[in-house]
């Protein structure tokens, strides 16, 4: 299963995928490329260290979202992917793009969806007095963070948790959830 990862930033989830791949734990999945819309994204360094091909496509060079997404799509399709993995890719994608990758495009979101779509998920969970937080891997559809849920992981919220401490605990859980879902998709344990 050929996997293209899209990133915009630090790429700790990408690092988890690389680590599982290096250890032979990623099933039949192989990361064939990492693409960033931000040239300075540290995740690009992580990919280079693992000898994974990288590419940068800056959205700033495009006058509108549609044109950027069309360019991104042709860049991605040059790698002939079976699965496109959003790993901290901070762009809203157009309907045309999402439809093209129907059941081939996944995202990880730092909440137990359908709770807390969008940003500031940890702050909102703390403000609501929740006792459990978590992360969700889901298929990407046109509606933000609303595609079918593939798998979730729960994380406790503990007394005196701050936004930062909760974020760190959820992120650590993401680093197991995302690689295991991609492994299971590659092995057909989870179907598309």
Residue carrying the six token digits 């940068």:
56
3-class secondary structure, 32: strand
- Per CB under 6 A, does 166 bind ligand GRF? no
Is 109 known to be catalytic? Answer: yes
Q: Which is nearer to ligand GRF, 109 or 183 (CB)?
A: 109
Q: Does 12 bind ligand GRF (CB under 6 A)?
A: yes
Q: Which of 11, 81, 147, 179 binds ligand GRF (CB under 6 A)?
A: 11
Smaller CB separation from ligand GRF, 70 or 104:
104
Interior/surface letters 93-108, b for 16+ CB within 10 angstroms, e for the rest:
bbeebbebbeebbbbb
Question: How many angstroms separate the CA atoms of 128 and 17, rounded?
Answer: 32
Between residue 92 and residue 131, which ones bind ligand GRF under the rule CB under 6 A? 108-110
- What is the C-alpha separation between 117 and 111, in angstroms, rounded? 8
Position closest to ligand GRF via CB: 88
d(CA 31, CA 142): 25
Of residues 1, 9, 142, 149, which one binds ligand GRF by CB under 6 A?
Answer: 9
User: CA 50, CA 32: separation in Å to the nearest integer?
Assistant: 11
Region binding ligand GRF by CB under 6 A among candidate stretches 5-13, 24-32, 98-106, 156-164: 5-13
Q: Is 179 a residue that touches ligand GRF (CB under 6 A)?
A: no
Minimum CB distance to ligand GRF, residue 63 (Å): 26
Annotated catalytic residue, options 59, 102, 109, 175: 109
For the purposes of burial, counting CB atoms within 10 Å of the CB of 118, is it exposed (0-12), middle (13-18) or buried (19 or more)? Answer: exposed
For residue 44, which of 22, 72, 53 has the smallest C-alpha distance?
53
Query: Does 171 contact ligand GRF by CB under 6 A?
Result: yes
Given the rule CB under 6 A, which residues bind ligand GRF? 9-14, 87-88, 108-110, 135, 171, 174
């Amino acid at each position: 299963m050929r996997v293209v990862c899209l990133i915009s930033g630090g790429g700790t989830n990408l690092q988890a995928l690389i680590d599982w791949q290096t250890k032979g734990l990623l099933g039949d999945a192989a990361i064939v490329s990492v693409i960033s819309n931000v040239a300075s994204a540290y995740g690009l360094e992580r990919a280079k260290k693992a000898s994974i091909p990288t590419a940068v496509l800056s959205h700033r060079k495009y006058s509108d979202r549609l044109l950027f997404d069309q360019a991104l799509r042709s860049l991605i399709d040059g790698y002939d992917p079976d699965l496109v993995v959003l790993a901290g890719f901070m762009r809203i994608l157009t309907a045309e793009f999402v439809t093209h990758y129907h059941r081939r495009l996944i995202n990880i979101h730092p909440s137990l969806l359908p709770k807390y779509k969008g940003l500031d998920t940890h702050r909102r969970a703390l403000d609501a007095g929740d006792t459990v937080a978590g992360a969700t891997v889901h298929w990407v559809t046109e509606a933000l963070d609303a595609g079918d849920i593939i798998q979730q992981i729960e994380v406790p919220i503990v007394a005196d948790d701050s936004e930062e401490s909760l974020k760190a605990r959820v992120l650590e859980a993401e680093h197991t959830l995302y690689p295991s879902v991609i492994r299971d998709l590659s092995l057909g344990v989870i179907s598309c």
